[in-house]
Amino acid sequence: MARATARHILVKTESQALELKTQIEGGADFAELARQHSSCPSSRDGGNLGSFGPGQMVPEFDQVVFSAPVGTVQGPVRTQFGQHLIEVTGRQD
């Protein structure tokens, strides 16, 4: 069974997500931005969500985590929780 590890930043608006993505692409630290801006409890751990399998996250999130290249920030990805920036940190098929 496939497993993935990922971290994310959850914010309310697409514009805020895009602004943070630009900062990350410019060299800002993903974990630091997660601690400062993410509304998810995972923000305390730099947005780290640990290890999970398909179907454990909402479908929109799952789709990105199990298809995107490892180590590349994806998003914004909209779910019922808000707008996510997602970085897959590892995956085993």
Give mean pLDDT, residues 68-90: 97
The number of domains in the chain is 1
In percent, the amount of the chain with pLDDT more than 90 equals 98
Task: Identify the CA nearest to 77 among candidates 5, 17, 2.
Answer: 17
CATH, residue 13 = 3.10.50.40
Q: Per-residue pLDDT tens for 21-52? A: 999 999 999 999 999 999 999 999 999 999 99
Residue 11: which pLDDT band, with cuts at 50, 70 and 90?
very high
Compute the 3-state secondary structure of the chain and give helix, strand, coil in percent, each to the nearest 5. 35, 35, 30
Q: Per-residue pLDDT tens for 72-82? A: 999 999 999 99
Cα distances (angstroms) measured from residue 8 to each of 1, 14, 48: 22, 14, 7
Whether the predicted pLDDT of 1 surpasses 90: no
Domain span at residue 66 reads 3-92
Res 93: pLDDT: 83
